[in-house]
Structure 1
Amino acid sequence: MDYIKKLSRFIVPYKRYGYLNIFFNVLYALFSTLAMVSLMPMINVLFGETEKLTIKPVYKGIKELKSFGEDYLNYFVTTTNESDGPQQTLLYMIILIISLFLLKNIFNYLALFFITFLRNGVLKDLRDSIYNKVLTLPISYYSEKKKGDIIARISGDVNEVKNSLLAVLELIVKEPLTIVFAIVTMFTISMKLTIFVFLFIPVAGLIISRIGKSLKKKSNRVQTEQGVFLSTLEETLSGLKVIKGFNSEKRFNDKFQASTNRFYNFSNVLMNRQNLASPASEFLGIATIAALLWY
């Protein structure tokens, strides 16, 4: 959160895109939940697992909204099945499901569409601010700092802000809302099964946090090493005449290759850890589903 506070002055000019992103993320989370649960009551009625309703239900207030929704869906499927047949009822079900998933993905696209302007705007202003700082710093600063480090800051580090911090900012509304809607729905369907799922959350959270901390450490090493070989490149280009005059090509070549080799090794470790994240989370999800099926 400290990083977000530091970036807040760059985010504020584009806050309207952030508000639009939040609005469409709310709709995305809502329709994502509706799309997943809407099929269950209709299947139950269609295959005779729920008592069919032939009398139209009456709305009695917000407290009974859930039961009213289920009863009305039951009534609609029952009456349609009796009047038009199961094939026509199934067609209506398919249209409803496709419509819900279509709306869900449209809202997801709109949320991503507006956050794009915020992300790219922040990156543009961040680069402009760094360049302005480069121009205003005293000459003595550059005698102590390597120019390659500064080049790495304005290129690589800014992209890391895009790939990590702004990616988190993009999901900070979408994922919590999706989780909240999903948990409410889960408790509505079965409180026992929901509590049973929560037993696995601390274990999964511990494993994922370990992977995340490892990724942060490895990413810092990659960025540092990128600054080293860019500095070597800058020194080579600036003093090429001197290097050739003293026949130091091999020394600088060895120095550059040693840095790129370290960058190669660090990048391999980082990418392998990143590649581990998706399979690990998928396996944890499947393990939870398997435990639920057993329970």
Structure 2
Amino acid sequence: MKNILRIFRYLKGYKREVILNIVFNLLYVFASLFSFVMVIPFVSVLFGIIQPPELCPEFSFNKDVIIDYFAWQLNSYSVTYGVFKCLMIISIIYIFFAFLSALFRYLGMYYLAPIRNGVIKDLRNDIYHKITILPLSFFSNKRKGDLLSRMTSDLLDIEISLISSLQMMIKDPLMVIVFMTTLIIASPKLVLFIVIIMPLVAYLIKQIGASLNRNSEKGQKQIGTVLSTAEETLGAIRVINTYNAEETIVKKFEEQNNRYSKLMTKILRRKELAAPLTEIFGIFALVIIVIFGGLMVINGEINPSILIGFVLLFARILAPMQSVTTAYYNLKKASAAAQRLYEILDAKEKIVEKPDAIEEIEFKNKISYKNVFFSYREENEENKMVLENINLEALHGQTVAIVGKSGSGKSTLIDLLPRFHDVIDGEITIDDVPIKDFNINSLRKIIGVVTQESILFNDTIFGNIAFGIDATLEQVQNAAKAANAHNFILNTPKGYYTNIGDRGLTLSGGERQRICIARAILKNPKILLLDEATSALDTESEKLVQESLHTLMKGRTTFVIAHRLSTIVNSDKIIVMDNGKIVEEGNHQSLLSQNGIYSKLIELQTL
């Protein structure tokens, strides 16, 4: 339940609404209580259950005195004006308090609405913000569908199971406490019979709640698996159709969905035990009250009016008791969802910024990798190094090409520069200042990235080029012209304000890549990272993109990972990587003369 208490901390931003909700719920409880308690003297006198005292007693806050006082007043009124008129007055008073009760209940719900929606909004914002600042290593071990499940399904569970139960957790416990206190005042002996039964019911509810918590956690993990499969299917529908794998993928999805359905059936069956258990307890307790209360009336221990009022109040308390039980089960379900959310919120931000980090970065001389080691493994796992003893220097304005077979550590090498990951040992410096000393946003501001996959958003062409930058249309157009993208953009339905759809799929591969290059040109970075930016393009598109890249690279320090070696032969420096190590270094001609790995790669591509 610790996770639930953590969620309740979000209530701090809604103190006014919480206070008003509690106040109106208290008023609702007392209005409801009064409308029931007043029945005792009314019924007693009107139907002759007890006789009123001969003289009007002086009013005081004593149970017997209060009953006698109202009995005398009511009897006097009924004698003077008649029983029927007295009944009309009673009915009007009862309706008035019933109206007040309904009004206070509505006002309680009125002030609960901003609490319910606000807490979920704040929690969703915190999760989204956390996801944007977590290191890439966090996402390499998570499925996107599972993360989406946590941000949607688990949040919905908390909204339905926890936040929606706030009213039950505030109003109904108050009603149970106030009504039980009134019952104790009315007859402590009768309440004793109720108290004897309660521990057994509480034990049963606790056992069912524990089972519900376990199954809820399994259910939330399973829906994450279902959403992961759905997300994979949407991203790979072309491959699925090409390989006639529709039946296979549908079968896989149905199996996962069936497992989720069975788990949810089990959860709902356990959850629905709450109301019947409480109802059985209530009926059993009511029977005991009637039997033993009747004996107490016969023996003269209590007045018949007290027994009638006691039975009415206890009958009224049954529904709130059921609600409290339901709220308890909802808390158990919400606890499992909250635990999955806090796995994200509590995830370590491994890329930590120094308190006195340098804001301004003037890159004038060189970038240096000094004895750099890196591994994706956690500290408690087997530490297999992805990069070992990397020593590399790139002068300002130089182009450094990185080649090697797949899995040799090329992408990891350049990912360390913008601190997508941090080195395990050694350091990376810019002008001899360790990059860990820089403000992270300032560091990334001077770095532009163009990858093999064109990362675009469901937005306009203008929005994608000016992503993260406050730019004018003229600036965006100039960047697009430099990237050889201006002409095809003008041919789209709304030009720069054409929406390009999810991941830019309304455009060709070459067009998407040129928009990404235009985005990098607009950013005007001092350092450029190109990760196989043309490897997925056809010859014609590659030619246009290469022209754009040459424009982008002018005057910038560039690290290029290339699949087609013909594109990097003019680089100032070429490094060859193998198994996480730099095994060769030099320019094109010097590496060819070494007759090593680079030379063999060139031969393979010229065959």
Q: Is the structural similarity TM-score above 0.5? A: yes
- Percent identity over the alignment is 33
Match of 1:244 in 2: 241
The answer to whether 1:172 aligns with 2:163 is no
The equivalent position to 1:158 in structure 2, one of 152, 155, 166, is: 155
Distance 2:135 2:241 in 1: 31
- Structure 1 CA distance for aligned equivalents of residues 2 and 109 of structure 2: 24
Of 168, 173, 181, the match for 1:184 = 181
CA displacement at 1:21 relative to structure 2? 0.7
1:53-109 per-position Cα deviation (integer Å, ceiling 9, x unaligned): 46443335xxx3544432332122111110111111111121222222222222122
- Alignment-derived partner of residue 232 in structure 2: 235
Partner of residue 97 from structure 1, selected from 90, 94, 104: 94
Pair 1:262 & 2:259 matched: yes
Q: SS where residue 48 of structure 2 aligns? A: coil
Give me the whole-angstrom Cα distance separating, in 2, the residues matched to 1:135 and 1:238: 22
Higher helix share: 1
Query: Given that residues 240 and 246 in structure 2 are in contact (C-alpha distance below 8 angstroms), is that contact kept between their aligned partners in structure 1?
Result: yes
Tell me, yes or no, if the aligned pair for 2:63 and 2:186 is still in contact at 8 Å: no
1:274 corresponds to which residue?
Answer: 271
Residue 118 (str. 1) matches residue 100 (str. 2)? no
- Matched residue SS, 1:49: coil
- Tell me the distance in 1 between the aligned counterparts of 2:31 and 2:210: 33
- After TM superposition, where is structure 1 displaced by more than 4 Å over at least 4 residues in a row? none
Partner residue in 1 for 2:517: none
1:71 paired with 2:87, answer no
- Counterpart residue identity of residue 173, structure 1: I
In structure 2, the partner of 1:204 is 201
Taking structure 1 as reference, are residues 35 and 56 closer, same or farther at Cα in structure 2, changes over 3 Å only? same
Runs of 5+ in structure 1 lacking a partner?
none
In structure 1, the residue matched to 2:479 is none
* Counterpart position of 1:85: 82
Instruction: Answer whether contact 1:225 1:262 (CA < 8 A) is retained.
Output: yes
Q: Identify if the C-alpha distance between structure 1 residues 261 and 20 changes in structure 2 by more than 3 Å, giving closer, same or farther.
A: same
Higher mean alpha-carbon deviation, 175-184 vs 224-233, is at 175-184
1:120-135 mapped onto 2 (5 Å cutoff) = 120-135=117-132
Q: Greater strand share, 1 or 2?
A: 2
Which has the greater radius of gyration?
A: 2
Evaluate the alpha carbon distance shift between residue 4 and residue 266 of structure 1 in structure 2; reply closer, same or farther with a 3 A threshold: closer
Q: Give the corresponding residue for 2:375.
A: none
Of the structure 1 ranges 11-20 and 129-138, higher mean CA displacement relative to structure 2 is found in: 129-138
Q: Report the more deviating stretch, 137-146 or 110-119.
A: 137-146
Partner of 1:35: 35
Report what 1:18 is aligned to. Answer: 18
* Unaligned stretches of 5+ residues in structure 2: 293-607
Choose which of 148, 156, 175 in structure 1 pairs with 2:145. 148
Task: State the 1:8 CA deviation.
Answer: 4.2
What amino acid does structure 2 have at the position aligned with 1:273? R
- Please list the CA deviations of residues 207-256 of structure 1 after superposition, one character each: whole Å capped at 9, or x if unmatched: 22222222222222221111001000111112223333444333322211
Shift of 1:261: 0.6
**1:169-199 deviation per Cα after TM superposition (whole angstroms, max 9, x unaligned):** 4333323322222222112221211111111
Structure 1 stretch 131-140 or stretch 108-117: which is displaced more?
Answer: 131-140
Contact 1:15 / 1:118 at 8 angstroms: preserved in 2?
no
CA contact (8 A) 2:24 2:108 kept: yes
Output the TM-score relative to the length of structure 2: 0.46
Matched, 1:6 2:6: yes
* Matched letter for residue 140 of structure 1: S
Alpha-carbon contact 2:27-2:101 (below 8 Å) kept: yes
Equivalent pairs, count: 292
Tell me the residue number matched to 2:289: 292
Computed over aligned residues only, the root mean square deviation of the Cα atoms, in angstroms, reads: 2.0
- Is the partner of 2:34 in helix, strand or coil? helix
Q: Pick which of 227-236 and 213-222 moved more.
A: 213-222
Residue 51 (structure 2) pairs with residue 51 (structure 1): yes
Query: Is 1:53–1:78's contact at 8 Å kept on the other side of the alignment?
Result: no
